[in-house]
Amino acid sequence: MVVSRFAPSPTGYLHLGNARTAIFSYLFARHHGGKFILRVEDTDRERSTKEFEDMLLEDLRWLGLEWDEFYRQSDRFDLYRDYADKLVESGHAYPCFCSVEELEEEKKRAEERGIPYRYSGKCRVLNKAEVKELKKRGKGYALRFRVPDGRVVVFEDLIKGHIAINVDDFGDFVIVRSDGTPTYNFVVVVDDALMGVTHVIRGEDHIPNTPKQILIYEALGFPLPRFAHLPVILGEDRSKLSKRHGAVSVRNYREEGYVPEALFNYLCLLGWSLPEGEKEVFSKEELVSLFKLEDVNSSPAVFSKEKLRWLNGVYIREILPLEQLVEDFLPFLQSAGYSADREYVKKVLQKTRDSFETLKEGVERLKPFFAEEVIYSEEALQVLESESSAMVLSTFLQRVRDGELSGERVKTIAKEIQKELGLKAKDVWHALRASLTGETEGVGVDVLCDVLPKEKVLQRLVKAIKLVG
């Protein structure tokens, strides 16, 4: 059975690159009818926090990912200790008593000689008696993996192809720190092996870690999984995606009013060559059925916020069921300080969902439907103070006092006023929009009058007429 996993560290917000990794791992497992595991890698005690872990899980659920098993590395320390002992007993690991100062001095000498630093290996030659004596004296120590000299580790990456790395590039590495906490390269092997992970899908920044992990797999007698390293995501200037390109976390896009289905869909388009030609909108079920690792590009993908925004607008306008759009929109409305009946919000969105591309933008654009009082912009005041506006508004008010108010009736009355007063259409509509919305652009007056309660329309007209005398 295919088993994949996503193993984030709770040291910050969920980055878009990590979110894509999670999605690809999820799609791969679901495509093959396999298992998808979520494992929180919180061995870094200084930087890992419960707050970040909670947000991480919340953002993954928001994206629509569901996992079959969940693990937290901090709950498994006893297990790691047992396997570290096995490596020491078999001679694949040894205690290193070098102090921080000694190691820093080694690094400094390497820098002065202009060569990459690798541990000198001074503690790998200590005999049992020397080790026993140093422990007896209370000397602190870390555990290092004994890397075989001159070995070239070779593996076939499912995305990058043939990769060969000489172990002399890195030397003996720490698997358990002097404070007793295990390191990433060690615990990831123990976890992946014991959890039956068959495919390790992760970012290409992990390629240098892979030979170290393969050596540990071999030392513990575990079968190797298949590795697939995803290319990085670049900004539009072709540099690695970072904060200077704008929002880079899932949380940022949630707060901006992007819907999870659109973000999920868009991240799938980054670096994956879909077989559907020009089609760019896919349901999660379609993506599961289509996903193949061999279709993932080995070259970097370029992130376009403009394209994501366009796709988000498509979901808002055309794809999301109205009830779900209401559900997604309400928190943004409440956050902006507005309160409205759910059915009224539904009525508004039914008429206006094609006028905005993010939920946050929608709240701003649809203020005239929800604001208790109209606040006039400078441009709106200029329109209202024009000679024709007072006549337009007073005539319009007289005509709409009686009978039902609807968008169609508003259009009819506006045409009548235009003809009677000898005005241009824009003069009539600008006056009405300025009085009812406080702006000179935005939501259509006919749409507003189709939804806004009649008494509010009348109140706004009266207020504007008083304002212009």
pLDDT for position 222: 98
Helices 305-314/260-269 angle, 10° precision: 130
Tens of pLDDT, residues 174-218: 999 999 999 999 999 999 999 999 999 999 999 999 999 999 999
Q: Is the pLDDT of residue 237 over 90?
A: no
In this prediction, residue 246 carries a pLDDT of 60
Portions of the chain given CATH number 1.10.10.350: 372-469
Does position 154 have pLDDT exceeding 70, yes or no? yes
- The predicted model gives 152-174 an average pLDDT of 94
For residue 43, the model assigns a pLDDT of 80
Choices 3.40.50.620, 3.40.50.720, 3.30.565.10, 3.40.50.300: CATH for 3-72+183-232: 3.40.50.620
Residues carrying an active site annotation:
243
CA distance 402 to 314: 39
Q: 36, 35, 31, 27: which is closest to 1 by C-alpha?
A: 35
In the prediction, which pLDDT does 131 show?
A: 93
Calculated CA dihedral for residues 450, 451, 453, 454, nearest 10 degrees: -10
Task: Report the percentage of the chain scoring pLDDT > 70.
Answer: 98
Model confidence pTM above 0.75: yes
How many CA within 13 A on the CB side of residue 128? 3
Stretch 19-23: mean pLDDT = 97
- pLDDT higher than 70, residue 388: yes
Average pLDDT over residues 353-381: 94
Q: What is the CATH number of domain 78-176?
A: 3.90.800.10
pLDDT score, position 279: 84
Q: Where, residue-wise, is CATH 3.40.50.620 in the chain? A: 3-72+183-232
What percent of the chain is predicted at pLDDT more than 90? Answer: 79
Confidence (pLDDT) at 19: 97
**pLDDT for residue 169:** 85
Residue-level pLDDT at 386: 87
Count other C-beta atoms under 10 Å from residue 248's C-beta.
20
pLDDT for the residue 150? 86
Name every residue whose Cβ is closer than 8 Å to that of residue 134 and which is 6 or more positions away in sequence. Answer: 95, 97, 126, 141
b vs e for 54-66, b when ≥16 Cβ sit within 10 Å of the residue's Cβ? Answer: ebbbebbebbebe
Q: Please state, rounded to an integer, the average pLDDT across all residues of the chain.
A: 93
CATH number of 243-319: 1.10.1160.10
- Which CATH architecture best describes the domain 322-365? Orthogonal Bundle (1.10)
| Start and end residues for every CATH 3.90.800.10 domain found in the chain | 78-176
What does the H/E/C string look like for 297-346?
A: CCCCEECCHHHHHHHHHHHHHHHCCHHHHHHHHHHHHHHCCCCCCHHHHH
Let me know: does 119 contact 172? Beta carbons within 8 Å. Answer: yes
467 has a pLDDT exceeding 90: no
Report the DSSP pairing between strands 93-96 and 142-145.
antiparallel
pLDDT digits (tens, 9 = 90+) for 318-333: 999 999 999 999 999 9
Q: Cβ atoms within 10 A of the Cβ of 369, count?
A: 24
Is 68 within 8 Å of 32 (Cβ atoms)?
no
Which tokens in the block code for residue 175? 């698997």
Mean pLDDT computed over 66-88: 96
On the question of pLDDT at 278 being above 90, the answer is no
**Token match 């996992």: residue?**
67
Among 145-149, 251-255, 313-317, 441-445, name the one with the lowest average pLDDT.
441-445
**What CATH number matches the domain at 372-469, 1.10.8.350, 3.20.20.140, 1.10.260.40, 1.10.10.350?**
1.10.10.350
Confidence check: pLDDT of 245 > 80: no
pLDDT at 277 over 70: no
* For residues 92-118, average pLDDT: 91
110 pLDDT above the threshold of 90: no
Chain region(s) in the chain for CATH 1.10.8: 322-365
pLDDT level of residue 79 (50, 70, 90 thresholds)? very high
Q: Regarding predicted confidence, which is higher, 276 or 77?
A: 77
Model pLDDT, residue 244: 63
Where in the chain is CATH 1.10.1160.10?
243-319
